[in-house]
Amino acid sequence: MSPKIETESSFETAVVVGALVAMWTFRAISLYRMYFNEATRACKKYKGQAKECCIAKFKVRALQIQINELKKGLPECRKSKNPEKCKKLLTSKITNIQKKLKEAERDVLYDCFYDGRFHGHDVLRK
């Protein structure tokens, strides 16, 4: 086998893996945006800190949905030409979003429990 064929093969594999990861990433981002857009409508009735609490709550849920969607793509990596690379890329994306989720959860605590009291009782029940 000539080096040129190996290069084409690895290029082809990279393209296929990249396309698979891109597809799952696009799906996850689309769900995130769709859910987070609901926050705009749902939180419209609140003002000030209660509104911030409401939006923070939706952001947490949107990030959780995004993580779950990317996790659904992990089994699909087995079908790719390079399952290890595919899994590594998706896992990396999941890890990055999990970091954002931790920050968003801290925001909920800050926005909903400012000045030592809980604000947004009706916001968090939904």
Number of domains in the chain: 1
pLDDT, residue 7, reads: 40
What is the domain extent for residue 107?
A: 3-124
pLDDT, residue 117, reads: 58
pLDDT, residue 14, reads: 66
pLDDT, residue 11, reads: 67
Residue 115 amino acid letter: D
Assign residue 84 a region (left: φ > 0; alpha: ψ between -120 and 50; beta: otherwise).
alpha
Give the chain's residues under pLDDT 70: 1-16, 114-126
